[in-house]
Structure 1
Amino acid sequence: MASATPSMRKLLNDPEHVVRDSLAGLAVAHGDILKVDLAAQIVVRADAPRQGKVALVSGGGAGHEPMHGGFVGLGMLDAACPGAVFTSPVPDQMLAATTAVDGGAGVVHIVKNYTGDVMNFKLAAEDAADEGIAVESVLIDDDVAVQDSLYTAGRRGVGATVLAEKLAGAAAERGDDVAAVATIARRVNSRARSFGVALSSCIPPGSGTPIFDLPAGEMEVGIGIHGEPGRRREPLGTAREIAAEMVEAVISDLAPADGAELLVFTNAMGGTPLLELYVLHGEIERELTERGLRPARRLVGPFITSLEMAGASLTVLELDDELTALWDAPVNTAALRWGA
């Protein structure tokens, strides 16, 4: 039976158990790719640990699906640890994920720049080192909207997380050592920028109320994935106007070379239909092309969500030959699949 309140209609059993119930469903749907340890609350690649292969682990609060559990599998993550909705996982989860996938070649932690994630992954890495596991941690901080936010010191980690997981995952799959895999992830972060807008709030299952109020006809510009305030509120624009604002924010900060080849990631926040997202993506590509830039690879869809929030984010990565080859390499996860 669906759970309903005056402001919330969701397909739930008990809001307190929504993450565990969701993980159980993920395991049933994708048992050929991953397995779920409900006691530890971690998602692990089905064939983990892979001896001699560098393992990738990431995690964060639930509510952003398919990130991160949907990216566990060949060519991406070896394990993910989801916390409660919009809440960092705890160090014990991160340590359990790290030990479950360690194949003797070391583990790379991909960490979004949120205070809880950074602190808890640091503690987990220290505990893993005590157990003889070599861990390299990579911080993702690609959001150009604001310098500091409610949950961060410095820029937030958003869309580049998915790209780092894919590209570093491909590097691990081809046999790179732990330092080289971490270097790829850091390179992705340094060459990527993101910016998002919200057209509505979202309702966490535990509270049953919207995180913020957004009057009709307005949008939040520079929003965070937990409903954090953005740069400002302004009247809702057309897709063309929104695309121009997003591209300007990202490209002015990234400053790619003239004629650079780009990976363009247009992401839906959870409540935006693909009909609208493709309208926006078309306008984004037009803006980029008019600036003399060359979209060469694309990812369009709901890959980092904020529950049912309406809105979108743009992530642009300046490619080089190696990063392009790593993007094209096979991947087989619940949320991303090609070439495998």
Structure 2
Amino acid sequence: MKKFIDTIDGFLDESLRGFAKAHADIVDLSPEPRFVSRKAPAKPGKVALVSGGGSGHEPLHTGFVGLGMLDAACPGEVFTSPTPDQMLAAAQAVDHGGGILFIVKNYAGDVMNFEIAAEMLDAPHDSLLVHDDVSLPENRGMGRRGIAGTTVVEKIVGAAAEAGYDLAACKALGERVVHATASMGVALTSCTVPALGKPMFDLGEREMEMGVGIHGERGRERMALGSAGEIVDYIAAVIDDELQPQPGQPVLLHVNGFGGTPLIELHLMYELAHRHWSGRSVDIARSLVGNFTTSLDMAGCSLTLTRLDEEMLRLWDAPVHTAALRWGC
């Protein structure tokens, strides 16, 4: 394993200190319990958005803390859920009087720990569960996983909270975005967790993991490596079956890299995906391409499609100023 690392035990804390210093105009870091919060004061009465999850998916979630998105993010150890005390402390620190909305990816540890934190929180609160991974059936055990669609949810709901939506309205909007969003990924290589020191799984030179999870979980199926066009067609067909976008429907197309895929390849995947949906007269109204929900150094990507309405379009375009997303400011 070749990594820029001093010690395994200090890896995350040193990274977070560097992140906070690099973006000192946007975020503050609480080292214990560990969370990142927005520096710019929010309006009194604003709904506070708190999210989090295991590290290794950067810039999710810490990179989305700031104006127009999250008020706080709780990073756990690599691929490990943050603890309830982190979530509770973060929520208390960013409580502006409008209540707390926890945005939770659908993984057992995240769901359980956010529920524990919510039970201890003495403030109005609610939770929004993200489950956009359509590579898996809805009726499996814990349901579908939350993956790259989380970025879309956090941006749109974050803009709504910034605009003064109340807690119930933010939750209802978030649920609409979740149900209008479908994602699916493919891995060309495994990722390497520093504490493990080796790839989490093996893929042959001519193999790919279709529907892989962002923690290296097994996907829909292991397949022979296909061309970029074949991969896009496969994923797009699954998303089409789920969302059934109609001609003229405005959508957001998000191509997300897993950390080890260069932008030249991600933009190629965007071109092919754009060709697929525009060829069916779907309106690619907005786009996002880059590494936003990663899996350490995994080579691969995911496609996310979100059906948009006028409200979602307006909120997507609203100003945002975070480490990872910035426009309109």
Q: Is the 8 A contact 1:112 1:141 kept in 2?
A: yes
Greater CA drift, 26-35 or 50-59: 50-59
Greater CA drift, 197-206 or 250-259: 250-259
Q: Is the 8 A contact 1:59 1:68 kept in 2?
A: yes
How far has the Cα of 1:136 moved from its partner?
Answer: 1.1
In structure 2, what is the equivalent of residue 137 of structure 1?
127
Provide structure 1 residue ranges, at least 5 long, that are not aligned to the other structure: 1-7
Q: Is the 8 A contact 1:50 1:101 kept in 2?
A: no
Residue 72 of structure 1 is aligned with which of 62, 65, 86?
A: 65
Do structure 1's residue 118 and structure 2's residue 111 form an aligned pair? yes
- The code of the aligned residue for 1:138 comes to L
Q: Is the 8 A contact 2:106 2:146 kept in 1?
A: yes
SS in 2 for 1:9: coil
In structure 1, what is the equivalent of residue 25 of structure 2?
32
Do structure 1's residue 168 and structure 2's residue 157 form an aligned pair? yes
Provide structure 2 residue ranges, at least 5 long, that are not aligned to the other structure: none
Q: TM-score normalised to the size of structure 1? A: 0.95
How far has the Cα of 1:290 moved from its partner?
Answer: 1.5
Residue 200 of structure 1 is aligned with which of 174, 189, 192?
A: 189
Q: Is the 8 A contact 1:168 1:184 kept in 2?
A: yes
Aligned residues: 329
Q: In 2 relative to 1, CA 190–149 (structure 1 residues): closer, same or farther, beyond 3 Å?
A: closer
- The code of the aligned residue for 1:223 comes to V
How far has the Cα of 1:72 moved from its partner?
Answer: 0.1
State the 4+ residue runs in structure 1 displaced beyond 6 angstroms.
Answer: none
SS in 1 for 2:142: coil
Q: Is the 8 A contact 2:40 2:67 kept in 1?
A: no
Do structure 1's residue 63 and structure 2's residue 63 form an aligned pair? no
Query: What is the RMSD computed on CA atoms of the aligned residues?
Result: 1.3
- The code of the aligned residue for 2:61 comes to H
- The code of the aligned residue for 1:77 comes to L
Which whole-Å CA distance do the structure 2 matches of 1:51 and 1:37 have between them?
22
Q: Is the 8 A contact 2:247 2:283 kept in 1?
A: no
Among all aligned residue pairs of Structure 1 and Structure 2, give the percentage whose two residues are the same amino acid: 52
Mapping of residues 1-340 of structure 1, within 5 Å: 8-48=1-41, 50-128=43-121, 131=122, 133-147=123-137, 153-340=142-329
Q: Is the 8 A contact 1:48 1:100 kept in 2?
A: no
Q: In 2 relative to 1, CA 75–49 (structure 1 residues): closer, same or farther, beyond 3 Å?
A: closer
Greater CA drift, 139-148 or 89-98: 139-148
Q: Is the 8 A contact 1:49 1:102 kept in 2?
A: no
How far has the Cα of 1:257 moved from its partner?
Answer: 2.8
Question: Residue deviations 1:205-248, cap 9 Å, x none?
Answer: 11101110001111100000000001111111111111111111
How far has the Cα of 1:148 moved from its partner?
Answer: 7.4
How far has the Cα of 1:48 moved from its partner?
Answer: 4.5
Q: In 2 relative to 1, CA 293–148 (structure 1 residues): closer, same or farther, beyond 3 Å?
A: closer
Q: Is the 8 A contact 1:50 1:102 kept in 2?
A: no
How far has the Cα of 1:60 moved from its partner?
Answer: 0.3
Greater CA drift, 205-214 or 139-148: 139-148
SS in 1 for 2:120: helix
- The code of the aligned residue for 2:132 comes to D
